[in-house]
Amino acid sequence: MVIQDRCVICNIVAGKIPAWIVYRDADVICFLPKTLEAYGHTLIAPKKHYSDIFLIPENFLESAIATAKKLAIHYCMTKIKFLKNCDGRIRAIATLDNRDIGVQSY
């Protein structure tokens, strides 16, 4: 069994695991988590498997940020902040009417 067979996101991309997909294009897939943390809580993931953020090409990261912007506009968010923690995880904070309504760590 290769790692992609055990990867939840790869299985969602392949249609082996059901998911509520809200957006997809050639590079990214966006879906709602099983448990919503807050309004607009959406996971944005590459369609191709990467085991480490440092292996992800810059053009995908640009595409992911552009997709986050599209989703924020769709959800009527007023701001999205992206922060990188010391442990390498990226945190996205969506804001509606100057209130943080969702925080997600990756």
CB 93 within 8 A of CB 103: yes
Show me where the domains of the chain are located. 3-76
State how far the Cα of 77 lies from the Cα of 17, in Å rounded to an integer.
Answer: 29
Cα–Cα nearest to 75, from 35, 17, 30, 13: 30
Write down the pLDDT at residue 14: 93
Q: Dump pLDDT digits (tens) for 47-98.
A: 999 888 788 888 888 888 888 888 877 777 666 666 666 666 666 555 555 4
CATH number belonging to the domain at 3-76, selected among 2.60.40.420, 3.30.428.10, 3.10.590.10, 3.40.1670.10: 3.30.428.10
Give the ranges where the chain is alpha helix by DSSP (H): 3-6, 8-13, 58-74
Using the 8-state DSSP alphabet, how is residue 91 labeled?
E
Please name which of 79, 82, 84, 106 lies closest in space to residue 94, comparing C-alpha atoms.
79
